[in-house]
Amino acid sequence: MKKIQNITKKKNKTKIVCLTAYSKNIAEEIDKYADIVLVGDSLGSVLYNYTTTRKVSLTEMINHSKSVKMGVKKSLLVVDMPYKTYDTNNSALKNAKKIIQETKCDAVKLEGGKKVIKQIRLLIKNKISVMGHLGLLPQTAKGKFKSKGKNSREAKQLMDDAMLLQKNGVFAIVLECVSTSVAKQITQKLSIPTIGIGSSVHCDGQVLVTDDLLGINDTKIRFVKKFMNLKKYINLGLKKFSQEVRSKRYPSKKHSY
């Protein structure tokens, strides 16, 4: 609970940094800079080339989260509950408990508002911390992904859902691809933090897929900014290795027994 309190206390004081991780080695580096480490179901596309997060299994999420946990010391560790693992109260509680017990994470994240409020309420009643997720919902979105909150109906629904999630005990809400004005209104209205992704600087924090911001992926999504081109350096290292192997410079006596 202390880690969660540290996050909620940042509301209106300092921006929250949230990054994704799927393995121990990356998690160790992210932990130095992030407030929240998220094992996102985005691992489906990043690691497995799935065309949708719906294909991500509970087993995959748990296995990667176990690895990430080994690299996280200070940050809050949140794990996405995959598609179809929280359809009912019983399945939500059973699977959330399984995630918490096997990964030792601090919280789980569920997509949706009113449609999943009963499940969220039950998890929190059972002392399982929950992060919400509103706006674009990749697990249930149909067709081409579109931003949310562009009309008054969508704006009202987003605000209503945000207030409902807060009322029922979530400690923070991810706002994905929500229009700037609506994201700002929700953030100002809530007493809990909002974590934006494509939802403007007005949110209390920001999350990105780490592979995207490092330039490992060739994604061209509007909200992604490449902060470096890691692919370039990976290629340099691989090229040098292959050259030294072929020229018999590696391994030298220094690297041999």
**Tens of pLDDT along 135-172?**
999 999 987 888 999 999 999 999 999 999 999 999 99
Report the catalytic residues. 176
- Given a contact cutoff of 8 angstroms between Cβ atoms, the answer to whether 136 and 147 are in contact is yes
Domain count for the chain: 2
| Mean predicted lDDT score pLDDT of the chain | 97
Comparing 85-94, 200-209, 210-219, which segment has the lowest mean pLDDT?
A: 210-219
Closest CA to 43 of 16, 79, 75, 77: 79
Give the integer Cα–Cα distance in Å for 87 and 79. 17
Predicted local distance difference test score (pLDDT) of residue 111: 98
Average of per-residue pLDDT across 7-25: 97
234 and 114 together in one domain: no
Q: How many CB atoms lie within 10 A of CB 236?
A: 10
204 shares its domain with 257: no
Residue 183 has pLDDT above 90, yes or no: yes
Answer yes or no: is pLDDT of 221 > 90: no
Exposure class string for 125-158: b at 16+ Cβ within 10 A, else e: eeebbbbbbbbbbbbebeeeeebbbeeeebbebb
Q: Which residues pair with 177 in a beta bridge?
A: none
Looking at residue 1, its pLDDT comes to: 80
Statement to judge: residues 127 and 160 lie in one domain? yes
What domain range is 253 assigned to?
230-257
Query: Does residue 24 sit in the same domain as residue 118?
Result: yes
Do both 6 and 122 map to the same domain? yes
32 and 144 together in one domain:
yes
User: Tell me, what DSSP letter sits at residue 173?
Assistant: E
Do 236 and 148 lie in one domain? The reply is no
| Residue 226 backbone dihedrals phi, psi, to 5 degrees | -85, 110
User: Distance between CA 60 and CA 99 in Å, rounded?
Assistant: 11
Same domain, 190 and 245: no
**Are residues 199 and 122 part of one domain?**
yes
- Tokens 């209205």: give the residue: 189
CA distances from 158 to 3, 11, 48, 234 (A): 27, 20, 31, 41
Lowest mean pLDDT among 173-177, 220-224, 244-248: 220-224
pLDDT digits 0-9 by tens, 74-100:
999 999 999 999 999 999 999 999 999
